[in-house]
Amino acid sequence: MKIAIAGFGALGSRLGVKLQTAGHEVTGIDGWPAHIAAINTTGLTVVHDDLPPKKYFVPVVTPKEVTGEFDLIILLTKTPQLDRMLTDIAPIITQKTQLLVLSNGLGNIEVIEKHVARDQILAGVTLWTSTLVKPGEIRTTGTGSIKLQAIGHADAAPVAAALNEAGLNVEITQDVLTAIWHKAGINSVLNPLSVLLDANIAEFGTAGNGMDLALHILDEIQKVGATQGVKVDIVSIMNDLTNLLKPENAGNHYPSMYQDIKNGKYTEIDFLNGYFAKIGRRENVATPFNALVTDLIHAKEDIERIKLAKQQETFEI
């Protein structure tokens, strides 16, 4: 299959390498000049757990440069960047192109619907993980899975089969909305708490009251979900959280929000805890934990961005 990955950052790069290795023709689309230059000149370095680094050569271009036709475009930008990415790559989207979004957070499908017909959209969630260490290098750990569904009338089976050829452990779900809320529940616990507690997923698991904090956050999300007709299964989310703590899954992973904060970037908090707090306010559901976590992450975004800017100034002197 001819596949483009729009958002060739940490996770896009990992999935891209797996798909290329399985024989698919993969092109990365990304906006970070240093990352693109590094991959196109010396290759993408992948360091998986304690194994020796391996190099992969996946062509990467900017959204404005990309040409050609693709059977599938996998969207893996950060959620706030999705709309812009779709605008920029509009020239390569034909009526035959399928678009699969795997980014975290709520509201992605609504954004894609502004750009293409519903029958072209597939939406999913993933438990694959990856860290962008520096331009042209990712660090990966453990394994993962994907759940996806066609949003309109398209058949999701060929895409699922293509991804499964790459060992991506894809399952077609009949209820991706529930899966998206479920995944957002996982992210609303692990992502901000990893930042606030300065911990990877396994370290978070060693906190005596970690799972109590998780329950407070999830209880609110469940109540908010009920106002939207979405069933949030706390027991099942807690099960997934427990599994993610294991090193063979994602225990050694620092969630993507942790990476954003370290890199001085704005996070996806408004599409996770912040989204639930916002609906809670509208629907009169109290969400003090999610609201507080959202405010703390916004504060942390400012603090880290200013710290990083100061460090860069000092460096330039």
Ligand X SMILES: CC(C)(CO)C(=O)C(=O)O
Ligand Y SMILES: NC(=O)C1=CN([C@@H]2O[C@H](COP(=O)(O)OP(=O)(O)OC[C@H]3O[C@@H](n4cnc5c(N)ncnc54)[C@H](OP(=O)(O)O)[C@@H]3O)[C@@H](O)[C@H]2O)C=CC1
Q: Which does 112 bind (CB under 5 to 8 A by kind): ligand X, ligand Y, none?
A: none
Tokens at 208, concatenated: 């005596």
* DSSP-derived secondary structure for 245-268: TSTTTTTTPPPHHHHHHHTT---S
Q: Is 168 in the site for ligand Y (CB under 6 A)?
A: no
- Residue 250 CB, nearest approach to ligand X (Å): 5
Output 120 or 131, the one with its CB closest to ligand X. 131
Nearer to ligand X, 70 or 128 (CB): 128
Among ligand X, ligand Y, none, the one that 46 touches (CB under a kind-dependent 5 to 8 A) is none
C-alpha to C-alpha distance for 254 and 130, rounded to whole angstroms: 9
Closer CB to ligand Y, residue 132 or residue 162? Answer: 132
For position 266 contacting ligand Y by CB under 6 A, the verdict is no
CA distance 246 to 252: 8
CB neighbourhood size of 272 (10 A): 30
> Do residues 133 and 114 lie in contact, with contact meaning Cβ atoms separated by under 8 Å?
no
CA separation for the pair 244, 189 (Å, rounded)? 12
For residue 186, the partner it binds in ligand Y, ligand X, none, with Cβ less than 5 to 8 A by kind, is ligand X
Which region, judged by CB under 6 A, interacts with ligand Y, from 15-23, 128-136, 146-154, 229-237?
Answer: 128-136
Nearest-angstrom CA–CA distance, 141 and 47: 9
Q: Could you give the CA distance from residue 274 to residue 259 in angstroms, rounded to a whole number?
A: 19
- Beta carbon of residue 126, minimum distance to ligand X (angstroms, whole number): 7
Catalytic residue among 18, 78, 147, 183: 183
- Min CB(11)–ligand Y separation in Å: 4
Residues that bind ligand X (CB under 6 A): 104, 127, 129, 186-187, 190-191, 250, 253, 255-256
Helix axes 273-283, 210-227, angle to 10 degrees: 50
| 183 catalytic residue (yes or no) | yes
Burial (CB < 10 A; 0-12, 13-18, 19+), residue 86, is buried
User: Among ligand X, ligand Y, none, what binds residue 182 when CB lies within 5 to 8 Å by partner kind?
Assistant: none
x/- string (CB under 6 A) for ligand Y, residues 131-150?
-x------------------
For the CB of residue 131, give the shortest distance to ligand X in the complex, in Å. Answer: 9
Task: Output the six-digit token pair for 213.
Answer: 């904090």
How many degrees, rounded to 5, is the angle at CA 268 between CA 13 and CA 254?
A: 55
When asked if residue 103 is in the footprint of ligand Y (CB under 6 A), the reply is yes
Classify strands 137-140 and 44-48 as parallel, antiparallel or unpaired. parallel
Q: Which residues would be at the binding site for ligand Y (CB under 6 A)?
A: 7, 9-12, 30-32, 63, 76-79, 81, 84-85, 88, 103-104, 126, 129-130, 132, 256, 268
The catalytic residues are: 183
